[in-house]
Amino acid sequence: MSLAKIHIAKAQLGLDDDSYRALLARVAGVRSAKDLTKRQVGAVLAEFERLGFQPKPAKKAGRKAPKPTPDRQALLGKIEAFLAEAKRPWTYADAMALRMFKVDRLEWLDSDQLRRLIAALAYDAKRHGRPTA
C-alpha cells in the first residue's frame, strides 16, 4: 500500500523519473522504491508532503446498507426486542449475521436473511425459556 502511495505522490507532484530517483537517493539512499524499508517509506512520504503532496482519504469499500423500509424496520424491531429480552448487545446480532450469512453487519442483510436471523433468535429464546412472541 505504501509503495502505491509513493507512486501516487510522484504523479500528483508531476515528478519526472530522474527527479523522483534523485529524491529517493537524497531521502533514503536508494534508487528504487522497492528497496525502501518501512521507516524509509515514512521518510519519503513525509518529504513528498513537505513538497506539497496532499494524500486523499481512502474510499470506503463495500456496499451501502439498504434504505430502511417499513418491512425492514419491523424486522429490526423484532431483532431489537429479542436482544433486549436476552440482555445482549447489537454486536451479538452482527456476529450472528457474520456466522450465518458471512455478512459483517446486520444492516447489510436483506429481508429474507433478517427473517432467518429472527428465527434463530426465537429458537435461542425458546431454548433458554424466554418469551418468543
Cα 1–chain centre separation: 15
* 82-110 pLDDT per residue, tens: 999 999 999 999 999 999 999 998 888 99
Identity of the amino acid at 100: M
Return the higher-pLDDT residue of 133 and 132.
132
pLDDT (0 to 100) of residue 62: 61
Query: Helix crossing, 38-50 with 2-13: angle to 10°?
Result: 20
* 54-65 pLDDT per residue, tens: 888 776 666 665
Q: Name the residue among 73, 82, 74 with its Cα closest to residue 121.
A: 82
pLDDT (0 to 100) of residue 124: 93
Please name the residues in contact with 54: beta carbons below 8 A apart, sequence gap of 6 or more: 12
